[in-house]
A and B are shown apart, each in its own frame.
Chain A
Amino acid sequence: MTDDDRVFKALADPTRRFLLDRLFARDGRTLSELESELEMTRFGVMKHLRVLEDADLVVARRSGREKLHFLNPVPIRLIHDRWIDKYTERRVTALADLKNELEGKA
Protein backbone atom coordinates (compact mmCIF):
# COMPACT_ATOMS: atom_id res chain seq x y z
CA MET A 1 0.00 0.00 0.00
CA THR A 2 1.21 3.50 -0.75
CA ASP A 3 1.02 6.31 1.83
CA ASP A 4 -2.04 7.74 0.06
CA ASP A 5 -3.79 4.35 0.16
CA ARG A 6 -3.25 4.13 3.90
CA VAL A 7 -4.66 7.62 4.44
CA PHE A 8 -7.76 7.00 2.29
CA LYS A 9 -8.33 3.64 3.97
CA ALA A 10 -8.01 5.22 7.42
CA LEU A 11 -10.45 7.97 6.51
CA ALA A 12 -12.98 5.55 5.04
CA ASP A 13 -14.48 4.77 8.42
CA PRO A 14 -16.87 6.90 10.53
CA THR A 15 -15.33 5.89 13.88
CA ARG A 16 -11.86 6.88 12.74
CA ARG A 17 -13.14 10.20 11.36
CA PHE A 18 -14.87 10.76 14.72
CA LEU A 19 -11.58 10.11 16.55
CA LEU A 20 -9.79 12.63 14.29
CA ASP A 21 -12.52 15.19 14.96
CA ARG A 22 -12.13 14.68 18.70
CA LEU A 23 -8.37 15.21 18.42
CA PHE A 24 -8.95 18.27 16.25
CA ALA A 25 -11.15 19.73 18.99
CA ARG A 26 -8.53 18.96 21.61
CA ASP A 27 -5.19 17.40 20.84
CA GLY A 28 -2.95 15.22 22.96
CA ARG A 29 -5.50 12.78 24.43
CA THR A 30 -5.06 9.44 26.15
CA LEU A 31 -6.73 6.23 25.01
CA SER A 32 -9.02 6.36 28.08
CA GLU A 33 -10.24 9.85 27.19
CA LEU A 34 -10.96 8.85 23.60
CA GLU A 35 -12.59 5.61 24.67
CA SER A 36 -15.00 7.46 27.00
CA GLU A 37 -16.54 9.23 23.99
CA LEU A 38 -17.28 6.06 22.05
CA GLU A 39 -19.67 3.17 22.53
CA MET A 40 -16.89 0.71 21.90
CA THR A 41 -14.50 -1.58 23.75
CA ARG A 42 -11.02 -0.39 24.61
CA PHE A 43 -9.65 -2.98 22.22
CA GLY A 44 -11.85 -1.66 19.41
CA VAL A 45 -10.66 1.91 19.95
CA MET A 46 -7.04 0.71 20.06
CA LYS A 47 -7.49 -1.02 16.72
CA HIS A 48 -8.86 2.13 15.12
CA LEU A 49 -6.05 4.24 16.60
CA ARG A 50 -3.58 1.75 15.21
CA VAL A 51 -4.92 2.22 11.68
CA LEU A 52 -4.74 6.00 12.14
CA GLU A 53 -1.15 5.71 13.40
CA ASP A 54 -0.17 3.49 10.46
CA ALA A 55 -1.49 6.20 8.15
CA ASP A 56 0.40 8.79 10.23
CA LEU A 57 -2.80 10.70 10.83
CA VAL A 58 -2.20 10.19 14.53
CA VAL A 59 1.19 10.43 16.22
CA ALA A 60 1.50 8.97 19.73
CA ARG A 61 3.91 10.54 22.20
CA ARG A 62 4.89 9.43 25.67
CA SER A 63 4.45 12.00 28.38
CA GLY A 64 5.50 10.54 31.72
CA ARG A 65 3.40 7.44 32.22
CA GLU A 66 0.81 8.49 29.67
CA LYS A 67 0.63 7.89 25.96
CA LEU A 68 -0.87 10.94 24.28
CA HIS A 69 -2.38 10.92 20.81
CA PHE A 70 -1.88 13.88 18.52
CA LEU A 71 -3.59 14.65 15.24
CA ASN A 72 -1.04 14.96 12.43
CA PRO A 73 -2.65 16.96 9.61
CA VAL A 74 0.29 16.71 7.18
CA PRO A 75 -0.91 13.59 5.25
CA ILE A 76 -4.27 15.29 4.62
CA ARG A 77 -2.42 18.41 3.49
CA LEU A 78 -0.36 16.31 1.06
CA ILE A 79 -3.51 14.77 -0.37
CA HIS A 80 -5.03 18.23 -0.61
CA ASP A 81 -2.00 19.60 -2.44
CA ARG A 82 -1.64 16.54 -4.65
CA TRP A 83 -5.27 15.77 -5.53
CA ILE A 84 -7.77 18.40 -4.48
CA ASP A 85 -5.83 21.47 -5.65
CA LYS A 86 -5.22 19.86 -9.02
CA TYR A 87 -8.90 19.39 -9.82
CA THR A 88 -10.38 22.46 -8.17
CA GLU A 89 -7.82 24.70 -9.86
CA ARG A 90 -8.88 23.51 -13.30
CA ARG A 91 -12.54 24.05 -12.45
CA VAL A 92 -11.88 27.55 -11.13
CA THR A 93 -9.88 28.41 -14.25
CA ALA A 94 -12.69 27.07 -16.45
CA LEU A 95 -15.22 29.22 -14.61
CA ALA A 96 -12.98 32.26 -14.88
CA ASP A 97 -12.64 31.65 -18.64
CA LEU A 98 -16.40 31.29 -18.98
CA LYS A 99 -16.98 34.52 -17.09
CA ASN A 100 -14.52 36.37 -19.30
CA GLU A 101 -16.10 34.99 -22.43
CA LEU A 102 -19.64 35.86 -21.33
CA GLU A 103 -18.53 39.34 -20.40
CA GLY A 104 -16.82 39.76 -23.74
CA LYS A 105 -13.29 40.07 -22.37
CA ALA A 106 -11.88 36.93 -23.92
Chain B
Amino acid sequence: MTTMAETKVTTQVYRVYIRATPEAIWDAITKPEWSRKYGYGGSVEYDLRPGGAYRAHASEEFLAAGAPEVVIDGEVIEADPPRKLVQTWRMLMDEQMVAEGFTRLTYEITEGERGVTKLTLTHELEGAPLLAALLAGEMEDRGAGGGWSWVLSDIKTLLETGKAFAG
Protein backbone atom coordinates (compact mmCIF):
# COMPACT_ATOMS: atom_id res chain seq x y z
CA MET B 1 0.00 0.00 0.00
CA THR B 2 1.22 3.47 -0.80
CA THR B 3 0.62 6.11 1.80
CA MET B 4 -1.16 9.27 0.74
CA ALA B 5 1.98 11.38 1.16
CA GLU B 6 3.79 9.19 -1.35
CA THR B 7 1.03 9.37 -3.93
CA LYS B 8 2.17 11.82 -6.58
CA VAL B 9 -0.73 11.23 -8.92
CA THR B 10 -1.89 14.46 -10.48
CA THR B 11 -4.19 13.12 -13.18
CA GLN B 12 -6.63 10.26 -12.78
CA VAL B 13 -8.17 8.44 -15.75
CA TYR B 14 -11.23 6.23 -15.49
CA ARG B 15 -12.92 4.32 -18.29
CA VAL B 16 -16.02 2.21 -18.45
CA TYR B 17 -18.06 0.64 -21.26
CA ILE B 18 -21.80 1.01 -20.89
CA ARG B 19 -24.56 -0.67 -22.88
CA ALA B 20 -26.45 2.58 -23.45
CA THR B 21 -26.62 5.41 -25.97
CA PRO B 22 -24.26 8.41 -25.68
CA GLU B 23 -27.37 10.55 -25.05
CA ALA B 24 -28.42 8.42 -22.07
CA ILE B 25 -24.94 8.71 -20.58
CA TRP B 26 -24.89 12.47 -21.19
CA ASP B 27 -28.23 12.77 -19.40
CA ALA B 28 -27.02 10.63 -16.50
CA ILE B 29 -24.15 13.06 -15.98
CA THR B 30 -25.92 16.36 -16.56
CA LYS B 31 -29.51 15.94 -15.36
CA PRO B 32 -30.53 16.00 -11.69
CA GLU B 33 -33.29 13.40 -12.08
CA TRP B 34 -30.52 10.96 -13.08
CA SER B 35 -27.66 12.17 -10.86
CA ARG B 36 -29.83 11.59 -7.78
CA LYS B 37 -29.99 7.89 -8.57
CA TYR B 38 -26.35 6.83 -8.45
CA GLY B 39 -23.09 7.38 -6.60
CA TYR B 40 -23.27 10.05 -3.94
CA GLY B 41 -26.82 10.94 -4.98
CA GLY B 42 -26.37 14.69 -5.38
CA SER B 43 -28.61 16.76 -7.67
CA VAL B 44 -26.55 18.39 -10.38
CA GLU B 45 -27.34 21.79 -11.82
CA TYR B 46 -25.58 22.61 -15.08
CA ASP B 47 -25.67 25.70 -17.24
CA LEU B 48 -24.28 23.89 -20.27
CA ARG B 49 -22.33 26.65 -22.04
CA PRO B 50 -18.78 27.95 -21.63
CA GLY B 51 -18.61 29.95 -18.39
CA GLY B 52 -21.91 28.46 -17.18
CA ALA B 53 -22.24 27.49 -13.53
CA TYR B 54 -22.11 23.95 -12.19
CA ARG B 55 -23.38 22.98 -8.77
CA ALA B 56 -24.11 19.67 -7.10
CA HIS B 57 -26.69 19.94 -4.36
CA ALA B 58 -26.48 17.61 -1.37
CA SER B 59 -28.96 14.75 -1.06
CA GLU B 60 -31.25 14.62 2.01
CA GLU B 61 -28.95 12.00 3.46
CA PHE B 62 -25.91 14.24 3.04
CA LEU B 63 -27.75 17.25 4.50
CA ALA B 64 -28.76 15.17 7.52
CA ALA B 65 -25.09 14.29 7.96
CA GLY B 66 -24.19 17.98 8.12
CA ALA B 67 -23.08 18.55 4.52
CA PRO B 68 -23.44 22.03 3.02
CA GLU B 69 -26.35 22.55 0.60
CA VAL B 70 -23.94 22.87 -2.34
CA VAL B 71 -21.34 20.11 -2.11
CA ILE B 72 -19.46 20.70 -5.37
CA ASP B 73 -19.18 23.81 -7.50
CA GLY B 74 -17.42 24.72 -10.70
CA GLU B 75 -17.76 26.20 -14.15
CA VAL B 76 -18.45 24.69 -17.56
CA ILE B 77 -15.51 25.13 -19.95
CA GLU B 78 -16.80 23.19 -22.95
CA ALA B 79 -20.10 21.41 -23.55
CA ASP B 80 -20.51 19.34 -26.71
CA PRO B 81 -23.51 17.09 -26.07
CA PRO B 82 -23.46 14.11 -26.07
CA ARG B 83 -19.73 13.77 -26.65
CA LYS B 84 -17.64 15.97 -24.44
CA LEU B 85 -17.97 17.96 -21.26
CA VAL B 86 -15.07 19.90 -19.73
CA GLN B 87 -15.53 21.74 -16.46
CA THR B 88 -13.86 22.93 -13.29
CA TRP B 89 -14.73 21.08 -10.11
CA ARG B 90 -14.25 21.98 -6.45
CA MET B 91 -15.31 19.95 -3.43
CA LEU B 92 -16.99 22.04 -0.70
CA MET B 93 -17.57 19.33 1.93
CA ASP B 94 -14.29 19.89 3.69
CA GLU B 95 -12.35 23.12 4.38
CA GLN B 96 -9.01 21.62 3.42
CA MET B 97 -10.42 20.44 0.09
CA VAL B 98 -11.96 23.87 -0.53
CA ALA B 99 -8.48 25.30 0.00
CA GLU B 100 -7.09 22.97 -2.69
CA GLY B 101 -9.20 24.97 -5.14
CA PHE B 102 -10.64 24.16 -8.54
CA THR B 103 -9.60 21.08 -10.50
CA ARG B 104 -10.37 20.22 -14.12
CA LEU B 105 -12.68 17.40 -15.09
CA THR B 106 -13.31 16.03 -18.59
CA TYR B 107 -15.97 13.53 -19.63
CA GLU B 108 -15.57 11.96 -23.08
CA ILE B 109 -18.35 9.83 -24.51
CA THR B 110 -17.59 7.72 -27.58
CA GLU B 111 -20.14 5.56 -29.35
CA GLY B 112 -18.83 2.07 -30.05
CA GLU B 113 -20.11 -1.09 -31.67
CA ARG B 114 -23.25 -3.06 -30.84
CA GLY B 115 -24.79 -0.37 -28.64
CA VAL B 116 -21.88 -0.13 -26.24
CA THR B 117 -20.61 3.35 -25.44
CA LYS B 118 -17.24 4.25 -23.97
CA LEU B 119 -17.14 6.77 -21.14
CA THR B 120 -13.75 8.16 -20.19
CA LEU B 121 -13.33 10.51 -17.25
CA THR B 122 -10.09 12.45 -16.83
CA HIS B 123 -9.63 14.42 -13.65
CA GLU B 124 -6.61 16.76 -13.47
CA LEU B 125 -5.83 17.05 -9.79
CA GLU B 126 -2.68 19.11 -9.65
CA GLY B 127 -2.21 20.56 -6.17
CA ALA B 128 -5.21 18.67 -4.76
CA PRO B 129 -3.78 15.61 -2.95
CA LEU B 130 -6.67 15.26 -0.50
CA LEU B 131 -9.27 15.39 -3.22
CA ALA B 132 -7.18 12.95 -5.29
CA ALA B 133 -7.17 10.48 -2.38
CA LEU B 134 -10.93 10.85 -1.90
CA LEU B 135 -11.66 10.32 -5.61
CA ALA B 136 -9.32 7.34 -5.81
CA GLY B 137 -11.45 5.68 -3.13
CA GLU B 138 -8.70 5.77 -0.50
CA MET B 139 -11.08 7.15 2.13
CA GLU B 140 -13.78 4.52 1.60
CA ASP B 141 -13.14 2.84 4.96
CA ARG B 142 -13.90 6.20 6.58
CA GLY B 143 -17.32 6.31 4.95
CA ALA B 144 -16.33 8.65 2.12
CA GLY B 145 -17.53 6.35 -0.65
CA GLY B 146 -15.45 4.72 -3.35
CA GLY B 147 -14.66 7.76 -5.49
CA TRP B 148 -14.90 7.82 -9.27
CA SER B 149 -14.55 4.07 -9.91
CA TRP B 150 -17.49 3.50 -7.59
CA VAL B 151 -19.55 6.29 -9.21
CA LEU B 152 -18.85 5.03 -12.76
CA SER B 153 -19.57 1.43 -11.79
CA ASP B 154 -22.86 2.68 -10.38
CA ILE B 155 -23.76 4.69 -13.53
CA LYS B 156 -23.15 1.53 -15.57
CA THR B 157 -25.37 -0.55 -13.30
CA LEU B 158 -28.11 2.10 -13.30
CA LEU B 159 -28.18 2.53 -17.09
CA GLU B 160 -27.95 -1.19 -17.84
CA THR B 161 -30.31 -2.55 -15.19
CA GLY B 162 -32.37 0.44 -14.06
CA LYS B 163 -31.14 -0.02 -10.49
CA ALA B 164 -28.11 1.46 -8.75
CA PHE B 165 -26.38 0.46 -5.54
CA ALA B 166 -26.87 3.89 -4.00
CA GLY B 167 -30.61 4.03 -4.63
Q: Which residues of A contact B (CB under 8 A)?
A: 3, 24-28, 56, 59, 61, 70-78, 81
Residues in B47-105 with C-beta less than 8 Å from chain A: none
Q: How many residues of B contact A (CB 8 A)?
A: 26
Are A59 and B9 closer than 8 Å at their CB atoms?
A: no
Q: In the complex, which residues 133-156 of chain B have their Cβ closer than 8 Å to any Cβ of chain A?
A: 136-137, 146, 148-150, 152-153, 156
Shortest beta-carbon distance from B94 to chain A in Å: 22
Chosen A-B contacts, 23 in total, with CB atoms closer than 8 Å, are A3-B17, A25-B2, A26-B7, A26-B8, A27-B11, A27-B13, A28-B10, A28-B11, A59-B15, A61-B13, A61-B122, A70-B11, A70-B12, A72-B13, A72-B15, A73-B14, A74-B15, A74-B148, A74-B152, A77-B149, A77-B150, A78-B16, A81-B157
A76 to B150, CA, bound (A): 10
Chain A CB within 8 A of B120 CB: yes
For residue B7, which residues in chain A have a CB less than 8 angstroms away from its CB? 25-26
Task: Check A24–B2 contact: CB distance below 8 A.
Answer: yes
Cα separation A73 to B17 with both chains bound (whole Å): 13
B6 contacts A by Cβ under 8 Å: yes
Question: Chain B residues with Cβ under 8 A from A77's Cβ?
Answer: 137, 146, 149-150, 152-153
Q: Knowing A77-B150, A78-B156, A81-B153, say if A70 contacts B13 (CB, 8 Å).
A: yes
| Distance between Cα atoms of A24 and B153 in the complex (Å) | 19
Q: How distant is the Cα of A26 from the Cα of B12 in the complex, in angstroms?
A: 10
Bound: A73/B2 CA distance, A: 15
Chain A residue numbers with a CB within 8 Å of B136 are 73
* Shortest distance from the beta carbon of B109 to any chain A beta carbon, whole Å: 15
Complex Cα gap A75–B153 (Å) = 8
CB pair B15 A78 closer than 8 Å: no
Distance in angstroms between the alpha carbons of A59 and B122 in the assembled complex = 11
Q: What would 18 more interface pairs be, CB under 8 Å, given A25-B6, A61-B122, A75-B16? A: A3-B17, A24-B2, A25-B2, A25-B7, A26-B8, A27-B11, A27-B13, A28-B9, A59-B15, A59-B120, A70-B12, A70-B13, A73-B137, A74-B149, A74-B153, A77-B146, A77-B152, A78-B153
CB nearest to B137 among chain A residues: A73
Please, how many angstroms separate the alpha-carbon atoms of A61 and B15 in the complex? 12
A75 to B152, CA, bound (A): 10
- Measured between alpha carbons, how far is A27 from B120 in the docked complex, in Å? 16
Asked whether A72 and B14 contact (CB < 8 A) given A59-B120, A77-B146, the answer is yes
A76 to B11 CA separation, bound complex (whole angstroms):
19
